[in-house]
Structure 1
Amino acid sequence: MADKGTPHFRNDIGVTTIHVGSKEFMCIGAKPPFDHPHIFIDMGADDEVVCPYCSTLYKFDPALKSGEARPAECVWEVTPDAEPVP
Structure 2
Amino acid sequence: MAHNGIPHFQNERGIPSIQVGDKEFMCIGAKPPLDHPHIFLDMGAENEIVCPYCSTLFKYNPSLKHGAADPADCLYTEIDSTAAA
TM-score normalised over the length of structure 1: 0.85
Residue type at the aligned position of 1:17: S
Report how far residue 34 of structure 1 moved. 0.2
Name stretches of at least 5 consecutive residues in structure 2 with no aligned partner: none
Residue type at the aligned position of 1:55: S
Residue matched to 1:9: 9
Name stretches of at least 5 consecutive residues in structure 1 with no aligned partner: none
Residue matched to 2:38: 38
Report how far residue 78 of structure 1 moved. 4.2
Matched residues, number:
78
Runs of 4+ displaced beyond 6 Å: none
Residue type at the aligned position of 2:73: E
Instruction: Provide the rounded CA distance (Å) in 1 between the counterparts of 2:62 and 2:38.
Output: 24
Aligned with 1:37: secondary structure?
strand
Residue matched to 2:75: 75
Tell which structure's C-alpha radius of gyration is larger. 2
**What is the aligned-residue identity percentage?**
62
Instruction: Provide the rounded CA distance (Å) in 2 between the counterparts of 1:59 and 1:72.
Output: 14
Residue type at the aligned position of 1:23: K
